[in-house]
Structures are given as C-alpha cells and as structure tokens.
Amino acid sequence: MVAASTLALTAFTTFPAAADGDAAAGEKIFNTKCKVCHQIGPGAKNFVGPDLNAVIGRKAGTAEGYSYSDAMKASGLTWDEATFKEYIKDPKAKVPGIKMIFAGLPKETDQENLYAYLAQFKADGSK
C-alpha cells in the first residue's frame, strides 16, 4: 500500500497537470485567430510573432531570434495557465506597449481551449 501511494504521489508531483480545455477546439481557434502571425509545430519559425513551440513555461520576451517590444521584454511574465489566460483576454491591457495587434479572446472557454492546444507542443514542435 505504501509503495502504491508513493508511486501515485510521485506521478502527481512529477508531471504537470493536463490543461482543462479542449485541445481540438483550441487548434481551431489557433488556426482562425493566431496562425496569421504565429507558427507552431514541427518546423515552426518566428513569423510576424514569435513561434509558439514550448511557449508554456517560457519567460515572456525570450524566444530566440524574435525582436520583442521593450514592454514584453520587461514584463517579467512567465507563460503559465493563469498568466496566459489573463494576457490573451486582452493583451494590451496586460502588457501596455506591446507590438501584438490582437483584440483578445474574451471567452474563458476559448482561452482554456487555446491554452490546452499550445500546452501540447515541445520545443521541437512535437506533441
């Protein structure tokens, strides 16, 4: 019993919690709202905006090779779920002075779904 409890506790604390949203719905949001400026997945590169591979957990303003605004570089944000959802709701309100031209995603379900989609991708673009 102790071994099983230890194994369960280790699994719980070692792996990040899965995102609550629907990644398939998030992919649709990405393709209609984000893809015009951002790339994600194998072979993704910086475009109008930075590539979003491994964005979750990354410090804002640090994607290699992308020219960020001073505001984003100085924001001190790290892209966890709460920060991402607050940011994507209204980017310019969260970080005034950024270059990103996007009105935001006001619906919480859209925020959760997009987060779930982005959270799947590792630095090499694999899921």
Q: What is the pLDDT of residues 11-70, one digit of tens each?
A: 433 334 456 899 999 999 999 999 999 999 999 999 999 999 999 999 999 999 999 999
Write the DSSP assignment of 73-104 as a string of letters.
Answer: HTS--B--HHHHHHHHH-HHHHSTT-S-----
Distances (CA, A) of 109 to 9, 32, 86, 112, 122: 30, 16, 13, 5, 23
What's this model's pTM, rounded to 2 decimal places? 0.84
Question: Has residue 5 been placed in a domain?
Answer: no
Question: Has residue 47 been placed in a domain?
Answer: yes
Question: Has residue 54 been placed in a domain?
Answer: yes
| 23: phi then psi, degrees, rounded to nearest 5 | -60, -35
Question: How many domains does the structure of the chain reveal?
Answer: 1
> CATH number of the domain that 49 lies in?
1.10.760.10
Residue numbers of the domain that contains 26? 20-118
Summarize pLDDT for 66-101 with one digit per residue, the tens: 999 999 999 999 999 999 999 999 999 999 999 999
